[in-house]
Amino acid sequence: MAVFTFYAFTNPESHAFFLWLTGHSGIDVADLVARAMGDVEHDSDYALFGDVSRACRAALARRLGDILRDRCADAVGHYPDDPPDLGRDGSTLVAHLLAFAVGSVDTEGVAEAILRRHRKWSPDDSVLEVE
């Protein structure tokens, strides 16, 4: 099923995380954006990127990564760092798939989509993006 959105997410896992954050999580996303914007001046990423939007995206992505880790721990009792070895038990399959899905979430892409939605994404195109 194709999902049309204002942002080209890199994968369905990232899009699902965005939808959950912005519609179902109960998290004040505007506050997350404001706190990430406030972090920019004191963040080493600002010096690295030389651009407020990109530095804010990095700061917000870190916050989103923390949220993802915390919510996974709440839901399944741990953060699925590495896929476990597959065994006969169906729970090993679910844990294996969950580890891959969580690991696929592009927090920087989700952060950029959130900044775009909140009209805070305006990168300086004269500054080269650091990868």
Long-range contacts at 69-73 (CB < 8 A, ≥ 24 apart): 71/25, 72/98, 72/102
Instruction: pLDDT tens for the chain, 131 residues: list them.
Output: 445 567 889 999 999 999 999 998 899 999 999 999 988 877 776 766 678 888 899 999 999 999 998 888 776 665 566 666 667 777 677 777 787 888 899 999 999 999 999 999 988 776 555 55
Residue 88: its pLDDT value, please?
74
Question: What are the boundaries of each domain within the chain?
Answer: 12-117
Tokens of 58: 């990095």
Q: Which pTM does this prediction carry?
A: 0.81
